[in-house]
């Protein structure tokens, strides 16, 4: 008789955003008259930029003629896209990353979930707390996390690095030495960042202890302050210790288009074994490339028109962030984030836990946010709002919250 992977059974509850979706659907079914404003899941609402729409149409037309039809894409992505990424996202910032160190994928969530596969199940992971649930959950599924303690909501074999108001939401180097360190800056969910000097400390630490940093840069387009690194490869030594995950979801609104990439420098080696080669093998064996039309859309993100249009789109969302930040402050909330990130992190009112505040906000203001505790134990007592709504809805949501 076959057996299942019982690591799956260790996972408590369902995936955070599935739970929220079900809760909101149930509430809507009971109160069909209530207009709900969703500032929960980090999904964009602005349409694709004209340059991207044009590129998509053009690529679709190519697929309709035998002479310009494209079948299987190259395993690791089309050269035109990998080159554009290498030049604009790395080389233009002085980061030494070449096109052949970039693996094009269908999004950072998949990459964030799959990257752990090339590492031993004996490795110990370190995560910020609170954190994007995918990092821990996918390691649970792989059997890398030990046992779950429902009281503390933590796993026995995971190193948690609390990010709280006390440390400015910046993790401190862990006491216990980890093998894999997940970092995400600008941070999801807290919206905080660290400086280049702070990130350099992490790179030095990883190189010193022999750890790999998995650096999630999905929100780098929202950085507005100088001295905040846009890629970990701005730091010296990152080529020997860091993998970077990047996404087109938030800088270009591709949440429903699906495109991302993983960067693995060829200098990143475990003894003689190149992690680049391992990931290439995974790509070649388990993946068949992102759609041609989507890779052409990705290329358009880097055209002068695309760049200008997307700069305006990011500015639109960051204006929402400002609206939320100022609206919450004037309503007396303690808030952070929202300056270099599309996420605003607020302290729930006295005595209310994160899920209680979720229900309170849904029932009294018809506003959906994300409970901080869903991101880890140190998220308890916090709540995340996103700037990805429309401006009108964002203003309306804040008016409702201020009236409470």
187-226: contacts with a copy of itself (CB under 8 A): 209-212
Closest distance of CB 113 from a copy of itself, Å: 3
Strand partners, 372: none
Find the binding residues for a copy of itself in span 263-292 (CB under 8 A): 270, 273, 275, 278, 281-282, 284-292
According to CB under 8 A, which one of 36, 75, 205, 400 is a site residue for a copy of itself? 75
Find the binding residues for a copy of itself in span 334-393 (CB under 8 A): 390
Directed axis angle between helix 391-403 and helix 304-330, to 10°? 10
Task: Taking the CA atoms of 121, 162, 110 and 150 in sequence, report the sign of the dihedral they define.
Answer: positive
Residues that contact a copy of itself, how many (by CB under 8 A):
83
Residues in the chain: 404
Closest distance of CB 141 from a copy of itself, Å: 7
The C-alpha atoms of residue 117 and residue 111 are separated, in whole angstroms, by 10
Largest CA distance in the chain: 66
Task: Give the 3-state secondary structure of residue 214.
Answer: strand
Asked if 12 interacts with a copy of itself (CB under 8 A), we say: no
Task: Give the 3-state secondary structure of residue 53.
Answer: helix
Find the binding residues for a copy of itself in span 151-180 (CB under 8 A): 179-180
Q: What are phi and psi of 76, to 5 degrees?
A: -100, 5
| Omega before 189 within 30 of 0, i.e. cis | yes
Find the binding residues for a copy of itself in span 43-62 (CB under 8 A): 43-48, 50, 53, 56-57, 60-61
Cα of 174 vs its chain's centroid, Å: 22
Find the binding residues for a copy of itself in span 80-109 (CB under 8 A): 106-107, 109
- Binding string to a copy of itself for residues 234 to 263, with x set by CB under 8 A, is what? -------------------x-xxxx-----
Helical H segments across 160-274, by residue range: 196-209
Asked if 29 interacts with a copy of itself (CB under 8 A), we say: no
Task: Give the 3-state secondary structure of residue 397.
Answer: helix
According to CB under 8 A, which one of 5, 32, 350, 351 is a site residue for a copy of itself? 5
According to CB under 8 A, which one of 22, 31, 69, 149 is a site residue for a copy of itself? 69
Task: Give the 3-state secondary structure of residue 375.
Answer: helix
Hey, what are 17's tokens? 């955003």
Closest distance of CB 302 from a copy of itself, Å: 19
The C-alpha atoms of residue 311 and residue 290 are separated, in whole angstroms, by 24
Asked if 118 interacts with a copy of itself (CB under 8 A), we say: yes
C-beta of residue 213 within 8 angstroms of C-beta of residue 240: no
The residue among 240, 233, 236, 235 whose CA lies nearest residue 266 is 240
Q: Which stretch binds a copy of itself (CB under 8 A): 11-19, 183-191, 307-315, 366-374?
A: 11-19
Find the binding residues for a copy of itself in span 290-319 (CB under 8 A): 290-294
C-beta of residue 219 within 8 angstroms of C-beta of residue 341: yes
According to CB under 8 A, which one of 90, 119, 155, 233 is a site residue for a copy of itself? 119
Q: Which residue, 257 or 367, is less far from a copy of itself as judged by CB?
A: 257
Q: Which residue, 29 or 66, is less far from a copy of itself as judged by CB?
A: 66
Closest distance of CB 167 from a copy of itself, Å: 25
Closest distance of CB 369 from a copy of itself, Å: 17
According to CB under 8 A, which one of 41, 331, 352, 396 is a site residue for a copy of itself? 41
């Amino acid at each position: 008789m076959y057996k299942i992977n019982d690591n799956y059974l260790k996972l408590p509850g369902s995936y955070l955003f599935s739970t929220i979706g079900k809760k909101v659907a149930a509430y809507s079914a009971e109160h069909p008259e209530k207009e709900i404003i969703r500032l929960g899941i980090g999904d964009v609402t602005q349409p694709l930029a004209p340059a991207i729409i044009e590129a998509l149409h053009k690529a679709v037309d190519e697929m309709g003629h035998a002479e310009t039809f494209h079948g299987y894409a190259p395993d690791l992505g089309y050269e035109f896209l990998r080159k554009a990424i290498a030049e604009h996202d790395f080389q233009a910032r002085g980061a030494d990353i070449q096109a052949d160190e970039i693996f094009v994928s269908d999004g950072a969530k998949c990459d964030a979930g799959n990257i752990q596969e090339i590492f031993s199940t004996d490795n110990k992971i370190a995560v910020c707390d609170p954190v994007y649930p995918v990092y821990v959950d996918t390691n649970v599924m792989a059997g890398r996390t030990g046992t779950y303690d429902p009281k503390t909501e933590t796993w026995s074999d995971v190193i948690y690095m609390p990010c709280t108001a006390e440390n400015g939401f910046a993790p401190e180097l862990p006491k216990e030495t980890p093998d894999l360190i997940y970092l995400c800056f600008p941070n999801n969910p807290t919206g905080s960042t660290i400086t280049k000097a702070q990130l350099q400390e992490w790179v030095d630490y990883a190189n010193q202890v022999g750890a790999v940093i998995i650096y999630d840069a999905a929100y780098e387009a929202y950085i507005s302050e100088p001295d905040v690194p846009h890629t970990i490869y701005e730091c010296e030594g990152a080529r020997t210790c860091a993998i970077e995950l990047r996404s087109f979801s938030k800088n270009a609104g591709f949440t429903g288009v699906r495109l991302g990439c993983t960067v693995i420098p060829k200098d990143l080696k475990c003894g003689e074994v190149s992690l680049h080669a391992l990931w290439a093998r995974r790509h070649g064996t388990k993946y068949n490339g992102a759609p041609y039309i989507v890779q052409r859309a990705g290329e358009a993100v880097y055209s002068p028109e695309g760049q200008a249009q997307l700069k305006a789109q990011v500015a639109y969302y960051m204006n929402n962030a400002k609206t939320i930040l100022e609206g919450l402050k004037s309503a007396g909330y303690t808030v952070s984030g929202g300056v270099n990130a599309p996420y605003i992190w607020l302290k729930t009112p006295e005595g209310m836990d994160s899920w209680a505040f979720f229900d309170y906000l849904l029932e009294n203001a018809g506003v959906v946010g994300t409970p901080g505790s869903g991101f880890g134990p140190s998220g308890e007592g916090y709540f995340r709002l996103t700037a990805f709504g429309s401006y009108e809805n964002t203003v309306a949501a804040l008016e409702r919250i201020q009236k409470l």
